[in-house]
């Protein structure tokens, strides 16, 4: 999971500085998504140990 904190859009209505920061942050999102896709592709090629099978517990 990736978290990308941003200002609330309403804050941009009150402050030109916040608006510029928010616009710049939104412009960076496509590049960050591409980077995350590349990392995910690399991690899929790495062999991961398999998790042991677990049995579904029953209610009764």
pLDDT single digits (tens) 1-24: 889 999 999 999 999 999 999 999
Q: CA-to-CA distance for 17 and 47, rounded, in angstroms?
A: 46
Q: Give the count of alpha carbons within 13 A of 4, CB side only.
A: 12
Is 38 contained in some domain? Answer: yes
Distance in angstroms (rounded) separating the CA atoms of residues 58 and 48:
29
Residue 4, domain member (yes or no): no
Domain of residue 15 covers 9-42
Q: What is the pTM of this model?
A: 0.62
- Percent of the chain at pLDDT above 70? 90
Q: Is residue 16 part of a domain?
A: yes
Is the pLDDT score of 46 beyond 60?
A: no
Domain count, the chain: 1
Neighbouring residues of 42: CB distance < 8 A, sequence distance ≥ 6: none
- Residue 59 falls inside a structural domain: no
The residue with tokens 């592709």 is 41
């Amino acid at each position: 999971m990736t978290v990308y904190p941003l200002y609330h859009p309403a804050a941009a209505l009150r402050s030109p500085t916040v608006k510029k920061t928010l616009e710049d942050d939104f412009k960076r999102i496509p590049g960050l998504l591409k980077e995350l896709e590349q990392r995910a592709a690399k991690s899929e090629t790495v062999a991961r140990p398999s998790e042991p099978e677990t049995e579904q517990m029953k209610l009764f």
